[in-house]
Amino acid sequence: MKRRDWLRLLVPGALAGALPAAAADEVVRRFGRASVRADVSRARPGGVLVVRVSGLRRGAASAILDGRRAPFHGGRALVPVPADTLPGTHKLGVEVRARSGMQRVALSVTIAAGSPAGAARLLSPEVAARIADEGSVRDGRRLLAAVRESAPKAAQVLPLLAPVAAPVALGFGAALAYVDQPAIGPRFDGHYGEVHRGIDYDVAPGSVVRAPGAGVVTLAGELSLPGLTAVIDHGQGLVSVLCHLARLDVRAGETLAAAAVVGVSGESGIAGTPHLHWGVYLHGIAVDPVVVLTAL
């Protein structure tokens, strides 16, 4: 037996005590000299759980919330909390690599209730006709495929930057209805549910729209409901979607630096009024862009 193991037997908790104590917004699970820590300060629908492991020789593979998997990159996993997550206790599983194979460590996390604010939008008959058009279903699936496409090894730099300098006019998670129109959820981005999956900035048409972070353009073109749209892959599962543009200055395949000009804002698709919609997807799940405007 090694000297350190003797010490642990003689002085219970001596080594565990050397680990930093759990902060108020943290859930910690210790096993031997290793620990899993989940930052739960953003544990709400649209939020992100930040999971870190330490003391593991082989590291961790993924964190799993309600059956959805988020991979670890450099000792950290960013776990999206879907917009439709019910408040209450949820199980967060962490797959750690042990000598005997993969082992799962379970933590309990409490997800807070989401923001119930709502908004209703009135569309002109020409714009509303896009909803009924079958092309909107195909375009919703196309956007879904694009938000799920992310290079796992590409460096991801947080925080992201706001694409325009303006206050947020409609936040993430707001119940969004179109007056006298059917539900649009899956036709917009392939996801179900009538909640706002992004944030809106009320900016004048022609306002310059910038890349929220460095990345590769994976889609640039016209989609039925989102209108003229750019999708930027920031790497490691993080993707930005910029919708309702009036002009696109980038092409699919192009590599962008953070704050590079993507185009100018407008009211294409089902915008209804001039505004920029910025959606952020983490491992294919829509999260509140405000969350990634801070370092995680």
Contact residues for Zn ion, defined by CB under 5 A: 198, 200, 277
Task: State the minimum distance, in angstroms, from the CB of residue 9 to Zn ion.
Answer: 59
CB of 271 to Zn ion, least distance (A): 8
Residue 165 CB-density burial (10 A; 0-12 exposed, 13-18 middle, 19+ buried): exposed
Cis peptide before 152 (omega within 30 of 0): no
Nearer to Zn ion, 119 or 208 (CB): 119
| Token code pair at residue 6 | 């003797």
Q: Least Å distance between CB 269 and Zn ion?
A: 10
Closer CB to Zn ion, 119 or 151, in the complex: 119
State which residue has the least CB distance to Zn ion: 277
Long-range contacts, stretch 114-118, CB < 8 angstroms, 24+ apart:
114/44, 114/45, 114/46, 114/83, 114/85, 114/87, 114/173, 114/195, 115/171, 115/172, 115/173, 115/174, 116/175, 117/171, 117/173, 117/174, 117/175, 118/174, 118/175, 118/176, 118/177
Q: What's the closest the beta carbon of residue 92 comes to Zn ion, in angstroms?
A: 29
Give every CB contact of residue 63 below 8 A, 6+ residues apart in sequence: 38, 49, 51, 69, 70, 72, 77, 79, 92, 93, 94, 95
| Closer residue to Zn ion, CB minimum distance, 53 or 270 | 270
Q: Rounded to the nearest whole angstrom, what is the least distance from the CB of residue 136 to Zn ion in the complex?
A: 16
Q: How far is the CB of 22 from Zn ion (least distance, A)?
A: 37
- Cβ-based nearer residue to Zn ion, 70 or 286: 286
For residues 44 and 277, which CB has a smaller minimum distance to Zn ion in the complex?
277
CA–CA gap between residue 170 and residue 125 (Å, rounded): 23
Q: Which helix (H) or strand (E) holds 143?
A: helix 135-147
Residues 120-145: b if buried by 16+ CB within 10 A, e if exposed: eeebeeebbebbeeeebeebbebbbe
Cα separation, 40 vs 116, in Å, equals 21
Q: Nearest approach, Cβ of 200 to Zn ion (angstroms)?
A: 4
